C-alpha cells in the first residue's frame, strides 16, 4: 500500500511540470529543501534541534560555485564533490557540536552558521560578498544542454535522487544505528550502559544530515544559477526546521511532503505579501501547539481511524 502511494506521488510530481511548466522550478527547489529538511529531521529524532543547518546547504552551494570556477564542468562530479564538502564541514563542526544537547546544541549551531554567513558576506575578494557567485550550466555526461533543457534534466535527476536517497535514508533510520538515535532521545545513559558510544551515533547522524543538506544546497545552486550568502542566513535555517516539524513523525516522506507544502504556500504567498517569515513563524507555533505530529500526522490519524 505504502509503495503504491509513494509511486503514485512520485509519478504525479513527474508529470506536473508538463501540465504547468512554471511549477518545475518550484518543485526542484522544494525537493532540494526537502533533502535539507530531511537532514534536520534525522537530528530531530535524537531530540537535537539544529537552527543552523542552512550553513551546510550554503557550504555545498559555494562548493559547486568554487569547483565550477576551478574548471570542473560535470554535473555528477560537481554534485558528488560538493556533497563531500558539506559532509566534511559537518564532520568538523559535528566533532565539536555533538557534545552538546538541547539549548546549547541549538544555539551553537546558530552561532556557527552566523559566523559562516558573516564570512561569506564579508570576504568580498573570495566569495563575491553579498553579490554572490554565478553557477554556470555544467555538462551532463559530456553533453552541454541549453538552459531550459538542463533545468528539466536537473528536475528529473532530483526526483530520481529523492527516491534513491530517500530509500537509503529510510534504510539508515531502520537500522540499529538509526534506532539508536531515538534511544539517545529517550535515555542516553541507558545507551552508554549497553556499550553503544553515543558520541559516535550522533556524529554519524550529524555528518549524514550535513551531507543531505549539502545535496539540497547543490541542487538549489544549479536551479537558481547563483549562490548568495543568504543561503546560510538563519531565517533559511528556520524554514528547514519548520519543514522538518511539518513533516513530523512522517520520516522520510514527511520531510518532502512538508517541503512541497511550504514551497507551494510560499509561491502563493509572495503574490500577496512579503511578510513571509511572519507566516513561517506563526505556522511553526501553530503546528507545534495544535498538531505536534505534523501534517503527516493528520493523514496517519485518518488512516488509523478508518477501519
Partner 1 sequence: MSNAIIPLLLDSLASAALIFFAAVGLTLVFSVLRVLNVAHGSLYSIGGYAAASACLFIASQQLNPYLSFAALLLSAVFVAAIFGPLIERSLVRWTYGKSEAVQILITFGLFLILEDLQRLIFGVQSLYEDAPMRLLGTSSIGGVVYLNYQILLVGMAVLVVVGLRLLINHTRLGRLFTAVVTDREMAQSIGIDTNRIFILAFSLGVFLAALGGALSTPTSGIAPGLGADTMVLAFAVAAIGGLGQIEGAAVASLIVGLARVLAIYLAPSLDAVAPYAAMLVVLLIRPYGLFGSVTARRI
Q: Does 129 bind partner 1 (CB under 8 A)?
A: no
Residue 181 engages partner 1 in binding (rule: CB under 8 A): no
Report if residue 114 touches partner 1, rule: CB under 8 A: yes
Rule CB under 8 A: is residue 198 a binding residue for partner 1?
no
Query: Residue 121 or residue 157: which is nearer to partner 1 going by CB?
Result: 121
Binding segment for partner 1 among 62-70, 197-205, 262-270, 284-292 (CB under 8 A)? 284-292
- Can residue 221 be called a binding residue for partner 1 (CB under 8 A)? no
Give the integer Cα–Cα distance in Å for 231 and 218: 11
> Does the footprint of partner 1 cover residue 266 (CB under 8 A)?
no
CA distance 73 to 250: 37
Contact call for residues 194 and 180 (beta carbons, < 8 A): no
> Does residue 264 contact residue 26 with C-beta atoms inside 8 Å?
yes
Choose which of 104, 136, 164, 197 interacts with partner 1 (CB under 8 A): 104
Question: From the CB of 118, what's the least distance to partner 1, in Å?
Answer: 5
Does residue 277 touch partner 1 according to CB under 8 A? yes
- Residue 237's nearest CA partner among 86, 107, 121, 103 is 107
Which residue among 187, 199, 270, 298 contacts partner 1 (CB under 8 A)?
187
Tell me the CA distances in angstroms from 265 to 12, 116, 215, one per residue in order: 18, 29, 23
Q: Which of 1, 3, 189, 272 binds partner 1 (CB under 8 A)?
A: 189
Q: Is 118 in the site for partner 1 (CB under 8 A)?
A: yes
Is 285 one of the binding residues for partner 1 (CB under 8 A)?
yes
We find the least distance from the C-beta atom of residue 177 to partner 1, in angstroms, to be 21
Q: Quick check: 200 binds partner 1 (CB under 8 A)?
A: no
- Calpha distance 272→270 (Å, rounded): 5
For the window 15-44, what string marks contact with partner 1 as x by the rule CB under 8 A?
A: -----------------------------x
By CB under 8 A, tell whether 261 contacts partner 1. Answer: no
> Nearest distance from residue 57's CB to partner 1, in Å?
17
Applying CB under 8 A, the span of 16-24, 28-36, 114-122, 133-141 interacting with partner 1 comes to 114-122
Residues of this chain that interact with partner 1 (CB under 8 A) are: 44, 47, 49, 51, 96, 99-100, 102-104, 106-108, 110-112, 114-115, 118-119, 122-123, 187, 189-190, 234-235, 238, 241, 245, 275-278, 280-282, 284-285, 288-289
Amino acid at each position: 500500500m505504502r509503495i503504491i502511494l509513494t509511486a503514485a506521488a512520485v509519478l504525479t510530481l513527474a508529470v506536473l511540470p508538463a501540465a504547468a511548466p512554471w511549477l518545475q522550478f518550484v518543485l526542484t527547489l522544494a525537493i532540494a529543501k526537502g533533502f535539507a529538511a530531511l537532514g534536520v529531521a534525522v537530528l530531530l529524532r535524537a531530540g537535537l534541534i539544529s537552527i543552523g543547518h542552512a550553513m551546510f546547504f550554503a557550504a555545498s552551494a559555494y562548493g559547486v560555485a568554487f569547483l565550477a570556477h576551478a574548471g570542473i564542468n560535470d554535473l555528477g562530479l560537481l554534485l558528488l564533490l560538493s556533497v563531500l564538502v558539506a559532509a566534511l564541514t559537518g564532520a568538523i563542526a559535528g566533532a565539536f557540536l555533538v557534545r552538546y544537547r538541547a539549548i546549547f546544541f541549538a544555539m551553537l549551531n546558530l552561532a556557527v552558521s552566523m559566523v559562516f554567513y558573516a564570512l561569506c558576506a564579508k570576504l568580498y575578494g573570495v566569495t563575491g560578498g553579498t553579490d554572490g557567485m554565478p553557477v554556470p550550466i555544467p555538462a551532463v555526461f559530456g553533453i552541454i544542454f541549453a538552459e531550459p533543457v538542463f533545468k528539466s534534466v536537473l528536475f528529473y535527476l532530483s526526483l530520481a535522487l529523492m527516491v534513491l536517497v530517500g530509500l537509503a535514508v529510510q534504510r539508515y533510520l531502520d537500522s540499529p544505528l538509526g534506532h539508536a538515535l531515538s534511544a539517545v532521545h529517550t535515555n542516553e545513559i541507558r545507551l552508554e550502559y549497553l556499550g553503544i558510544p553515543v558520541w559516535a551515533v550522533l556524529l554519524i547522524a550529524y555528518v549524514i544530515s550535513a551531507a543531505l543538506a549539502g545535496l539540497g544546497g547543490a541542487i538549489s545552486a544549479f536551479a537558481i544559477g547563483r549562490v548568495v550568502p543568504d543561503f546560510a542566513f538563519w531565517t533559511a535555517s528556520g524554514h528547514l526546521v519548520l519543514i522538518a516539524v511539518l513533516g513530523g513523525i512522517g520520516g522520510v516522506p514527511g520531510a518532502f511532503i512538508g517541503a512541497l507544502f511550504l514551497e507551494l504556500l510560499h509561491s502563493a504567498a509572495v503574490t500577496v505579501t512579503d511578510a513571509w517569515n511572519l507566516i513561517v513563524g506563526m505556522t511553526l507555533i501553530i503546528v507545534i501547539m495544535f498538531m505536534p505530529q505534523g501534517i503527516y500526522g493528520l493523514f496517519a490519524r485518518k488512516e488509523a481511524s478508518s477501519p
